[in-house]
Amino acid sequence: MKTIDDLGDLRGRRVLVRSDLNAPLEGSTITDDGRVRASVPTLKKLADAGAKVLVVAHLGRPKGEPDPAASLRPVAERLGELLGADVRFAEDTVGEDAQRVAGELQDGEVAVLENVRFNAGETSKDDDERGAFADELAALADVFVSDGFGVVHRKQASVYDVATRLPAAVGGLVLSELEVLKRLTEDPERPYAVVLGGSKVSDKLGVIDHLIDKADSLLIGGGMVFTFLAAQGHEVGTSLLESDQLDTVRGYIEQAVERGVELVLPTDIVVAPEFAADAPPTVVAADAMPSDQMGLDIGPESAQRFAEAIGEARTVFWNGPMGVFEMPAFAAGTKAVAQALADLDGLSVVGGGDSAAAVRQLGFADDDFGHISTGGGASLEYLEGKTLPGLAVLEGDA
Residues that are catalytic: 35, 200, 353, 377
Q: Is the peptide bond before 328 cis (omega within 30 degrees of 0)?
A: no
Rounded to whole angstroms, what are the CA distances from 203 to 21, 195, 206, 215, 297? 24, 14, 8, 19, 18
Q: Residue positions in the annotated binding site for substrate?
A: 20-22, 35, 58-61, 117, 154
Chain CA centroid to CA 142, Å: 29
Q: Residue positions in the annotated binding site?
A: 20-22, 35, 58-61, 117, 154, 204, 295, 326, 352-355
Largest CA distance in the chain: 68
Chain CA centroid to CA 127, Å: 26
Q: For residue 32, with 0-12 CB atoms within 10 Å meaning exposed, 13-18 middle and 19 or more buried, which class applies? A: middle
User: DSSP per residue over 26-47, as a string?
Assistant: ETTEES--HHHHHHHHHHHHHH
- Quote the radius of gyration of the chain (alpha carbons, Å): 22
Q: Residue positions in the annotated binding site for (2R)-3-phosphoglycerate?
A: 35, 117, 154
Q: Please tell me whether residue 208 adopts helix, strand or coil conformation.
A: helix
Q: Residue positions in the annotated binding site for ATP?
A: 204, 295, 326, 352-355
Contact 285, 267 (CB under 8 A): yes
Amino acid at 249: V
* CA separation for the pair 235, 7 (Å, rounded): 59
* CA separation for the pair 5, 396 (Å, rounded): 18
Nearest alpha carbon to residue 116 among 57, 36, 35:
57
Cβ contacts of 275-281, under 8 Å, gap ≥ 24: 275/324, 276/327, 277/327, 277/328, 277/329, 279/329, 281/329, 281/330
Residues contacting 63, CB < 8 A, separation 6+? none
